[in-house]
Amino acid sequence: MRAPNAFATAIVLSLLAAAVSAKAQVPLTEGIQIGLSTDNVSITAGFSGADLTIFGSLENPDPLVARQGRYDVIVVLEGPPKPVVVRRKDRVLGVWVNLDSETFENVPMSYSVATTRPLQDITEPNSYKQLSLGASNLYMQPADAGDSPATIEEFTAALRERKSATGLYSENVGGVQFLSQNLFRATVRLAPNVPVGTHKARAFLFKSGLFIKESSAQLEIRKSGFEQSIFRVAHNYSFLYGVFAISLAMLTGWLGRLIFRRD
């Protein structure tokens, strides 16, 4: 139950801010909060991708800045990190063979971004790098740091390209919309093959190109349904599963003979 928490935090923050402002008469500092209606999402086996909506609010927005549209929000849904091997095929005697490979540690399995405007219009490339924000700014840690920078560069690019091609890394420009001066709605894409596990939703607030604040929430994505139970059994009780597969095959063969016998 994180909504009440967020609410409580918001109240505390604004009270604090009010106390500070009453004393010093400085402009209120903006903040950002996001709330998820649920902290776990179950997807069925036939899941063919969906949009996940995340609501959030700005705290103490400057009405003038808001009216001029100079607040920008970037929302990221980041999948659980896992090590990944990237392999490259090369021709050996005319045949395409997986030859070179590079292992990366802790690569987010998915990375969906929603923004108010195109990334390059929001802020400088350097601040993206500092925040490690955006699929092209994610730092991929190579397992073997001894490899040449050119090779690492090449495989990092290939990794990003493959992830985008399969929809796991996506960017939804215009996916964040302000519903009012404070309230915004972000729509991030869940790919059909979205990984299960703990995902992290993060929201970044920018004001006239400057990073102001970040807030995050966690989301558990689970698979459910008949097919998922089979998957679980196959992994947790693999011996029994194998015996079942064999018995099913023998039974089908025997029934086939019984039903269709012609001698």
- Residues in touch with other proteins (CB under 8 A): 45-46, 48, 82-90, 94-98, 101, 103, 155, 158-159, 161-163, 165, 193, 227-228, 230-231, 234-235, 238-239, 241-246, 248-250, 252-257, 259-263
| Residue closer to other proteins, measured from CB, 77 or 84 | 84
Q: Which residue has the tokens 């971004």?
A: 113
49: phi then psi, degrees, rounded to nearest 5? 90, 150
By C-alpha distance, which of 224, 234, 113 is closest to 174? 113
| Residue closer to other proteins, measured from CB, 64 or 165 | 165
CA-angle at 25, arms to 23 and 28, nearest 5°: 105
Instruction: Round to the nearest angstrom and report the end-to-end CA distance of the chain.
Output: 67
| Residue closer to other proteins, measured from CB, 4 or 260 | 260
Q: How far is the CB of 98 from other proteins (least distance, A)?
A: 4
| Residue closer to other proteins, measured from CB, 210 or 250 | 250
| Residue closer to other proteins, measured from CB, 183 or 250 | 250
Length of the chain measured in residues? 263
The answer to whether the beta carbons of residues 41 and 222 sit under 8 Å apart is: yes
Q: How far is the CB of 41 from other proteins (least distance, A)?
A: 18
Q: How far is the CB of 164 from other proteins (least distance, A)?
A: 12
- As given in the structure block, the two tokens for residue 252 are 């089908």
Q: How far is the CB of 190 from other proteins (least distance, A)?
A: 15
CA-angle at 63, arms to 61 and 64, nearest 5°: 120
CA dist., res. 160 & res. 162, Å (int): 6
Q: How far is the CB of 260 from other proteins (least distance, A)?
A: 4
